[in-house]
Amino acid sequence: MDTKTRIVTAIEKGTVIDHIQAGQALKIVKILGLEHSKKNLTIGLKLESATCDTKDIIKIHNWHISEEDSQKVTIFSPHLSINVIDHYQVLKKYTPQLPPFISSLIACPNSQCISNHEEINTYFYLEKICKDVFFRCKFCERPFSHHTIQPQNTL
């Protein structure tokens, strides 16, 4: 008898965002605008992973992620993978490219940054240093890792 079970069940059709860095899934849900939507979501947090210590996973039923949205989600987890599912099969699997800059999506974590005090669109430049990814605020010029950034509250 097969006693193996999935912690997060498979979906028939939709999008699976896998290998999300542990702790980042809820930020991704927010930036995709899914927290207030009627779409069926399945979220797994801090799951064991063969490729990394722990991971998060999000499965969105009957929904396909756009290219623009796939770039947004990599901000919070640069090495995640996107799986397009149909009839329980993986039709396509890819890791989206990080965008060269991010505008208006994330807030600056620096409380002394002007962008937290004036009505200004935030803007961050991507910096890659070896395997680490940082986003440098255009205004206060500080670099932030994807661990520390948060979606803007307007989303």
Partner 1 sequence: MMCTTYTQTNPQKLSSSFFSLPRKNLISIRDLEKKHILHILNLARNFKKTPPKPLLKDKLMGIYFAEPSTRTRLSFEAAMKRLGGNSLGISDIKTSSIQKGESLQDTLQILGEYVDLLVVRHPLEGSARAASLATNIPVINGGDGGNEHPTQTLLDLFSILECQGSLESISIAFVGDLKYSRTVHSLALASCFFNIRIYFISPSCLQMPSHICHELKRSGCRFSFHPTLEEIIKKIDILYMTRIQKERFLNPLEYETSHMDFSIDSNILSQAKKSLKILHPLPRLKEIPKYLDHSPHAYYFEQAKNGLYIRQALLCLLLLTPEEMAAHGY
Interface segment toward partner 1; rule CB under 8 A; list 22-30, 52-60, 77-85, 114-122: 114-122
Segments of 22-88 assigned E as strands: 41-48, 54-61, 81-86
Q: How far apart are the first and last CA of the chain?
A: 47
Alpha-carbon distance of 112 to 138, in angstroms, equals 14
Q: Any contact of residue 53 with partner 1 (CB under 8 A)?
A: no
Token couple for 2: 């097969």
User: Is residue 44 at the binding interface for partner 1, with CB under 8 A as the rule?
Assistant: no
86 touches partner 1 by CB under 8 A: no
Residues 41, 59 contacting (CB under 8 angstroms)? yes
Q: Is 35 in the site for partner 1 (CB under 8 A)?
A: no
The footprint of partner 1 on this chain (CB under 8 A) covers a number of residues equal to 25
Q: What's the closest the beta carbon of residue 100 comes to partner 1, in angstroms?
A: 4
Interacting residue with partner 1 among 113, 146, 149, 151 (CB under 8 A): 113
Of 115, 146, 149, 151, the residue at the interface with partner 1 (CB under 8 A) is: 115
The residues with which 21 forms a beta bridge, in sequence order, are 55
Based on CB atoms, which residue is closest to partner 1, 47 or 120? 120
Do 8 and 57 meet the contact criterion of CB atoms below 8 Å apart? Answer: yes
Burial of 72 (0-12, 13-18, 19+ CB in 10 A): buried
Footprint of partner 1 (CB under 8 A): 100-101, 110, 112-115, 117-120, 125-130, 136-143
